[in-house]
Amino acid sequence: MAMTLRLDDEDDRMLTERAEAEGRSKQEIAKEAIHLHLTRHREVFSALVNESLAKHAELMARLA
C-alpha cells in the first residue's frame, strides 16, 4: 500500500542524516520506526491488561 509521509524540514533533515549514516533509504528507516512504535504499543497494552487481570484475579473469578 502506498502512503505519502510529510515531514517538517527538521525531521526530514534528521531522517536523511540517519539514512545516510546507516547506508539505508529513508523509507527503510521510517518503516522500521513505525513498526517498532506499533509493536511496543501492543506489548505495553498487553502487559497492562495482564497486570490488571492478575491484580484483580479474585474479583474476576467471582464475576465469571
4 in any annotated domain: no
- Helix, strand, or coil here: 32? helix
Number of structural domains (the chain) is 1
Instruction: With cut-offs at 50, 70 and 90, classify the pLDDT of residue 60.
Output: confident
User: Residue 3: inside a domain, yes or no?
Assistant: no
Residue 23 lies in a domain: yes
pLDDT digits (tens, 9 = 90+) for 9-58: 999 999 999 999 999 999 999 999 999 998 887 888 888 888 888 888 88
Domain that holds residue 18: 9-63
- Grid coordinates representing 36 are 517498532
pLDDT at 1 over 90: no
pLDDT at 14: 98
What is the pLDDT, as a whole number, of residue 24?
98
51 located within any domain: yes
22 found inside a domain: yes
In a domain, 26, yes or no: yes
